[in-house]
Structure 1
Amino acid sequence: MILVTTPTGDIGSRVLTKLLEAKEDVRVITRDSSKLSDDVKGAVDVVVGSHADEAVICSALYGVDAVFWLPPGSPTDTNAHAGYVEFSEAFVRALPASCVKNVVGVSALGRGWEKPAGLVSASLAMDEAIANTGVAYRALACASLMDNQLRQLEPIREAGTFYAPHPSDLKLPHVAKSDVADVAVGLLTSRDWQGFEDVSLLGPEDITFEEMGRVMSNVLGREITFQSMPIEQFEGTMQSIGTSEGMVRDYANMMIAKNEGMDHMLPDAPRTNTPTTFRQWCENELKPALVDT
């Protein structure tokens, strides 16, 4: 049996759907089972609660061979360490006494980066804690997610603009969540692997934010421009939407690290496992989202 956490989230729901299509036996942990469709409820074993809760996770791991692990994360967490490392502590304690042999977790590029990198640093520390239990662990080391642009639907629609605390000409790798889910499912269904390794998920190409704007313009049929914002403005924006002080700092440190080259530490990593281009993502995800809202 495979345990899926965050089964109603952007990545977890895709993983769940693909596992069910593959006829796998699946159990899910969810805080709110009403968010699952009736068809899904009828096809999976449902455990209600938080996967940070020791009693919940111990119960959910019974009879499980493999786990898809993803802390939900929240801008209101005290800080990224609390949201990733502390959230995972009950899971880490429960693993040695369980039957689990393989864990696939969503993480980030940046292992070996020596400066504070906020959410990335916390994700990497979580990876180490899980791997140290002795299970076979694959950390999905994700580049920046293309899907993060969906958080800016309003300025894209209303002003034809999107923002980020990065230079307009900075080339960064970007990956689609759909590709992340595909790689996760491949690992969960073919568990002939051992030890602890990162699986780099870079997308097919690096792209600048200026280039992203041109692609959006072409797909949407109207001009979309990128506006670089100072890190201080980014921090103020995060504060204005209720992000905790610690998370504001951690988001900022992550963006600074990306600006300084953290995402380019693996120049020779393979890219065939994440084929979705930014243009394809805009056609498949961004354009429909703008129509639906």
Structure 2
Amino acid sequence: MIVVTTPTGQIGGALVRLLLDRGEDVRVVVRDASRLDGAVRERVAVVEGAHDDPAVLDKALPGADALFWLVPPNPAAPSAEAHYAGFARAGAAAVARHGVGHVVGVSSAGHGWTKPAGVLTAAFAMDAELAASGAAYRALSMPFYMENLLGQLDAITEQGAFYLTCAPDQPLATIATRDIAGAAADLLTDRSWTGQENLPLFGPDRLTPDAMAEAIGRELGRPVAYRRMSMDDFASLLRSRGAGEQTVKDMTEMFAAQDDGIYDADWKTATLAPTDFRAWCGQVLRPAADARAAS
């Protein structure tokens, strides 16, 4: 039995489908079971609730051979550190109680970074907690998600631009969420591995934001530019959307670390995933933009 958290998210949803296609028995932990696709709901065991709740985990983990662990975002949390720590402590204690042999977690690239990195620092602390649970643990260590750009579809299609804080002429490591799901599925179904390890997984190309803009424009058939935001402007944008000061600090520290090269060391040793950025633009971004235009 493989237990999957966040089964309605981009990564968790793709992972569940992959595991079912491989004939695995799957149990999911989900806050709202009605959000599960009907065809999936018929084929999985469902435990409803949040996976930072020990009582929910005590329902989900008996008999589990492996666990997929992902901490969902929560902008209302008092801090990224508190949010990740709450989930990690509950998860590690439950893994130990139920003798779960293997855990795969979604984390960030950049382990060993010594400067503050906000949300990424919180993810590294999560890894340490889960690695100490007694289970074999693999931290899938990720750079910037390509799917983050889907949140800028309006700007891309209406303004012909997307916005990040990165230098326009420095390569940005990226990853497609479907490749994260694929790597997790491989680990969860072939549990011959032991011990604890961080596994960086990066997309195969090394594009700068300017080159990413060119790739997007080519797929959409219109000019698209990259516009660099200052960190002050990014912080102001977060505040305008209701973010508290701790959330602003956590997010700006994360992007400052990204700008400073937190992913660079892992780029030398990372496993390269199959989906390059240009392919992702054609297969994911363009259909999303077309659907937005048609709605």
Deviations 1:50-77 (A, max 9, x none): 1111100111111111000001112222
Which one-letter code corresponds to 1:75 in the other structure?
Answer: P
1-structure distance, mates of 2:234, 2:126: 26
**Residue type of the partner of 1:292?**
A
Contact 2:202 2:267 in 1 (8 A): no
Shift of 1:90: 1.3
Match of 2:275 in 1: 276
CA contact (8 A) 2:199 2:270 kept: no
- Counterpart amino acid of residue 150 in structure 2: L
TM-score (norm 2): 0.97
Query: Do the aligned residues in 1 keep the contact of 2:108 with 2:143 (CA within 8 Å)?
Result: yes
Separation of aligned partners in 2, 1:74 and 1:270 = 28
Q: State the Cα distance separating 1:239 from its structure 2 match.
A: 1.6
Contact 2:66 2:188 in 1 (8 A): yes
After TM superposition, the structure 1 stretch with the greater mean CA deviation from structure 2, 208-217 or 163-172, is: 163-172
Superimposed CA distance per residue, residues 104-157 of structure 1 (whole angstroms, 9 cap, x where no aligned partner): 000001111100001110001000000011110000000111111001011111
Which residue in 2 is equivalent to 1:87?
87
Aligned partner of 1:168 in structure 2 is: 168
Q: Residue type of the partner of 2:157?
A: R
Which amino acid in 1 is paired with 2:280?
W
Q: How does 1:81-230 map to 2 (within 5 A)?
A: 81-230=81-230
Instruction: Give 1:99 shift.
Output: 2.9
Please tell me whether the aligned partners of residues 170 and 208 of structure 2 are also in contact (alpha carbons under 8 angstroms).
Answer: yes
Q: Secondary structure at the match of 1:134?
A: coil
- Deviation at residue 42 of structure 1 after TM alignment: 1.1
1:87 is paired with a residue whose SS is helix
Alpha-carbon distance between aligned partners in 2 of 1:292 and 1:243, rounded to the nearest angstrom: 29
Q: Is the 8 A contact 2:101 2:136 kept in 1?
A: yes
2:271, 2:38 → 1: CA distance? 37
Give 5+ residue unaligned stretches, structure 2.
none
The code of the aligned residue for 2:134 comes to G
C-alpha deviations, 1:164-184, integer Å up to 9, x for none? Answer: 111111212111101111000
Instruction: Report if aligned partners of 1:219, 1:283 keep a CA contact under 8 Å in 2.
Output: yes
For 2:279, the aligned partner's letter is Q
Cα deviation, 1:219-278, whole Å, max 9, x if unaligned, reads 110001010010010011112122232121111111111111111013421433x12110
Distance 1:97 1:246 in 2: 33
Matched residue type, 1:211: A
Q: Counterpart of 1:177 in structure 2: which amino acid?
A: T
Question: What letter matches 1:278 in structure 2?
Answer: F
Q: Which letter maps to 2:242?
A: G
In 2: Cα distance, 1:267 partner to 1:130 partner: 24
Asked whether the equivalents of residues 220 and 286 of structure 2 are also in contact (C-alpha less than 8 Å), the reply is yes
Give the match for residue 291 of structure 2.
292
Number of matched pairs: 292
Higher mean displacement: 127-136 or 37-46:
37-46
Q: Secondary structure at the match of 1:170?
A: coil
Separation of aligned partners in 2, 1:224 and 1:74? 31
Q: Distance in 1 between matches of 2:87 and 2:159?
A: 38
Instruction: Please name the residue that 1:66 is paired with.
Output: 66
Secondary structure of 1:27's aligned partner: strand
Following superposition, the deviation at residue 8 of structure 1 comes to 0.1
Q: Extract unaligned runs of 5+ from structure 1.
A: none
Distance 2:177 2:267 in 1: 21
Amino acid in the other structure paired with 1:275: P
| Cα 1:196–1:65 shift into 2, 3 Å | same
Asked whether the equivalents of residues 78 and 245 of structure 1 are also in contact (C-alpha less than 8 Å), the reply is no
Note the aligned Cα RMSD (angstroms).
1.0
Matched position secondary structure for 2:10: coil
